[in-house]
Amino acid sequence: MILRKFFRHRFIFVALLLIAIIILIINVFSKSAYELSLLTKAREKIFSKINQNDKNEAINIDVIDQYDVDKNIIDNNNRVNYPVETIKCTVIEETNATIKTVETFSNFKFDAEWVRKRKGIWQDEFTERYAQQKGDKSRPPLKVFILPHSHNDPGWLKTFRGYFDEQTKIIINTIVRKLSEYKEMTFVWTEISFLDLWWQSATIEQKESFKKLVNDGRLEIMTGGYVMTDEANVHLYAMLDQLIEGHQWVKSYLNITPKIGWSIDPFGQGSTVPHLLAKSGFEGAIIQRIH
């Protein structure tokens, strides 16, 4: 008798549990369908306010001017609470440039003999090409700017600490010593991650010499990011985070704000870093590897 009651009560419990699960599933799917319906209506409301040409343009470049949309189209819960009525996308305006790499890229002769059979840094073909172009009076005179610098990767073939102990520490020590010795010499530095590590073990005299060189304008901090960020695979927020980290350091220890960008080793140049630099008050930037 006791065993029969136990199984009967257990059956009732399992049945109630199954009913509760079914109700929960139905509620979730109903809520999702409701949310999707609201999202669809909001999207239709936006596109109903623009003509077909504007609609095609908006789809192609993903830019929509501000329109009123129902606020909080998804209920206020732990997942999403997005006030869509505040959305406003900024239309990206084309800027003027002396050289547009998109247009000139096709003119680069990457299949030239001297490119395909490159041997060493300098080749005889370079001398021959220079001799030919030297006599062309239509070409503007070549301006050469020499900026002593040392590019230090926080991570590549060695560890961050390995690079610092074996190379970078010696490099920064040499910079401070030689610039103090040769009064007309200048230098540029970018990677604040290494500078931060060097600062932790530098002597008081080295720190004071470093700050004096910076204040005298002979040692310039370029970009001021914690690293020289990659521009192909890195997310926007990682780019911004390392820039903030580096700028906070140079402001705290050197009391400066970098004004010139220095991106000479990223494998290609994007538009995101220049945008961040411009919004950070930068006056210009130097780039390399436009291919």
Residues designated as active site:
265
Q: What are phi and psi of 225, to 5 degrees?
A: -75, 160
Residue found under tokens 């070409």 = 139
The label of the residue with tokens 């590590």 reads: 197
Paired with 262 in beta bridges are 286
Q: How far apart are the first and last CA of the chain?
A: 85
